[in-house]
Amino acid sequence: MAWLAVNKDGTEWIMPEKPVRGWCGHWEYLEEVYIESERGSVSIEIELPKGSVYKLLGKELTWDDEPVELQTETENR
């Protein structure tokens, strides 16, 4: 589904796969992509407006917390 994480500076992020804790206080997720026979890594993450994580989860996350996976209603059953 999608993963939510909060960087050390308090910015909130959503990513398509579980990110890893980076060395500089940021969660990281890189994906290998192929574009017209070229290969490279791109960062696929979207910064969310402050307060989005709380609205989606009903609780706050901090840098000290592990990322949380969002699940659909059918996955929760």
Q: Quick one: tokens of 32?
A: 């290998």
State residue 52's pLDDT score: 97
Residue 65 lies in a domain: yes
Q: Which domain holds residue 42?
A: 2-72
Residue 23 lies in a domain: yes
Residue 77 lies in a domain: no
CA angle 3, 33, 62 (to 5 degrees): 20
Q: pLDDT-based confidence at 45, cuts 50/70/90?
A: confident
Residue 48 lies in a domain: yes
Residue 41 pLDDT greater than 90, yes or no: no
Residue 20 lies in a domain: yes
Tens digits of residue pLDDT in 48-76? 999 999 999 999 999 999 999 998 776 55
Residue 40 pLDDT greater than 70, yes or no: no
- For the chain, how many structural domains are there in total? 1
> CB neighbours of 2 closer than 8 A, spacing ≥ 6?
14, 15, 16, 69, 70
Residue 39 lies in a domain: yes
pTM above 0.75, yes or no: yes
Task: Share the mean pLDDT of the chain.
Answer: 86
